[in-house]
Amino acid sequence: MVIIRAANTTQEREACFQIRHEVFVVEQKVPVDLERDEHDSGALHFVALADGQSVGTARVVLRDNGASAKIGRVAVRRSNRGFGIGKMLIAAIEETPDLKHVRNFLLDAQAHALQFYADLGYEAYGEEFIDAGIPHRHMTKRNRKVR
Ligand SMILES: CC(C)(COP(=O)(O)OP(=O)(O)OC[C@H]1O[C@@H](n2cnc3c(N)ncnc32)[C@H](O)[C@@H]1OP(=O)(O)O)[C@@H](O)C(=O)NCCC(=O)NCCS
């Protein structure tokens, strides 16, 4: 069974950082000093648990007094990919009560993941750009009805 929840304890946040390290630093060769950044301390971190094991993560940084939110550091452990966990992470973020006032979700998608986000309703805009050596596009889901 997969559960997505806010990572509210130090231990859960450390599990998120460990997954990010495995996926971005080890697998994708992102420099370690870029992977962890100044937004981590104020971000909301989410963890995906499969049968109690942490297997995925994402973070959300609020902007514009909470009207917008940037989703980032979306990562699922390699052996757990392709089972819908990435999709569940994004859906859980969009539905989380703490983010109910967010009208616009933003993210910077790695080029290989554009279709993953497009299938979840995100639209790409602007030119491709390079971040940490990886091609990206900006994407957004705008003007969501707030509850
Ligand atoms: C991108 C990532 C988070 C997706 O997680 P996942 O759990 O494997 O994704 P899901 O199983 O929920 O996939 C949902 C759908 O997207 C598709 N998909 C998943 N990854 C994809 C990719 N990289 N490119 C295109 N489509 C992809 C799946 O085929 C699936 O399609 P379906 O619903 O028609 O079967 C995962 O591949 C990952 O951690 N990659 C390395 C880190 C990374 O690149 N993060 C994104 C940074 S922007």
* Mean pLDDT score, 73-86: 98
Q: Is residue 147 part of a domain?
A: no
Which conformational region is residue 24 in: left (phi greater than 0), alpha (psi within -120 to 50 degrees), or beta?
A: alpha
The residue to which tokens 């989703």 are assigned: 71
Which conformational region is residue 97 in: left (phi greater than 0), alpha (psi within -120 to 50 degrees), or beta?
A: alpha
pLDDT number for residue 5: 96
The enclosing domain of 78 has a CATH number of: 3.40.630.30
- Output the average pLDDT for the chain: 96
By alpha-carbon position, which residue is closest to atom 40 of ligand 1? 75
Q: Is residue 125 part of a domain?
A: yes
Distance 112 CA to ligand 1 centre (A): 9
Q: Is residue 131 part of a domain?
A: yes
Q: What is the pLDDT of residues 108-121, one digit of tens each?
A: 999 999 999 999 99
Number of domains in the chain: 1
Q: Is residue 6 part of a domain?
A: yes
By alpha-carbon position, which residue is closest to atom 36 of ligand 1? 76
Q: Provide the domain limits for residue 103.
A: 2-141
Element (H, E) at 34: helix 32-35
Q: Is residue 127 part of a domain?
A: yes
Q: What is the pLDDT of residues 21-54, one digit of tens each?
A: 999 999 999 999 999 999 999 999 999 999 999 9
Residue 135 three-state SS: strand
